[in-house]
Amino acid sequence: MMKSVSEVFVTGIKEITTIPALYKDTLEYKGKYYRVGTNRQEVKDTKTEDDSFKLLTYAAIAKELKRRGLKESKVFLAVGLPLTRFGAEKKPFIKYLMEEKDVTFIFEQVSYHIVIDNVVVFPQCYAAVADRLPSFAKKTLVVDIGSWTIDIMPVIDRAPDESHCATIPRGLIICIRSINEQCVRQLNGEVDEAEIQQFMRYGTIDIDERYQKIIKEEITSFVERVYNSIREYGYNLATTPIVFVGGGAVVMKNFGSYNQKNISYILDVKANAKGYEYLATMAMRNMMKRA
């Protein structure tokens, strides 16, 4: 999912080769039309491989400007990258997003003109808890469960311990795939991803109970694998303060076998995006003070 401080939509973008009949979620850029929020993007080695994430970013900016009643603006763009890829990909990602600073595009038949004034990149996982660090214990483990990856970040004395951060490529998409593999194997049919996501959030959906049973079993197995990964990195689930964030936090809360005071959950899926805004705002204030 693409997330801004107020919007969430699927990371799907597909070019429309003819003039669209309907303009909802339609981006027009350089004479081409794109439908935003279609089937999610397949995993890529980096976000800079093609124009997909740039176009999705323009759509997100349009949604935020619309909420503010604006059609043109200078933009201070705050974005994020996975923890362990942050150092290697930060500069290329900034260059990618600033290749064209003065941008005009049309979203849902409304023309927008933006000037990208600056781009700052922050680590995912850290951003989700940045405003809560003063309340953390001496050592706290933050686990960010996303679509493709699980980030594990120890925070010691309210600062991230980068030397022990880890990114595991086994996020929620892997769980969804295993669910449908089992559904096909056992019942010769698949379940729509949106239905699976609803089950993850609420624990039930209005479909055949045989499918629900498979979904629950596979989600429970996924949760146990997350716990085992945490153990493999040397953390005691009974004593270490652990904070689950990201889209998978609700999965850990709903299907996890641990219910104790040392484990907490940040269930807002926009927590990282809000953290980017918070950190960027702090950086801008510091810049103004120095000026």
- Sign of CA pseudo-dihedral 185, 191, 193, 199: negative
* pLDDT at residue 87, as a whole number: 81
What predicted TM-score, i.e. pTM, was given to this entire model?
0.83
- For the chain, the domains span 2-123, 126-269
8-state DSSP, 247: T
Please determine whether the domains at 2-123 and 126-269 fall in the same fold group of CATH: yes
Low-confidence ranges of the chain (pLDDT < 50): none
pLDDT tens for each residue of 219-230: 999 999 999 999
* pLDDT at residue 123, as a whole number: 86
pLDDT tens for each residue of 39-59: 776 666 677 788 889 999 999
Helix axis angle, 209-232 to 193-202, nearest 10°: 70
Strands 32-36 and 13-16 come out as antiparallel
8-state DSSP, 11: S
CATH 3.40.1670.10 fits 2-123, yes or no: no
Determine the residue type at 217.
E
* pLDDT at residue 41, as a whole number: 65
Which class is 126-269 in CATH? Answer: alpha beta
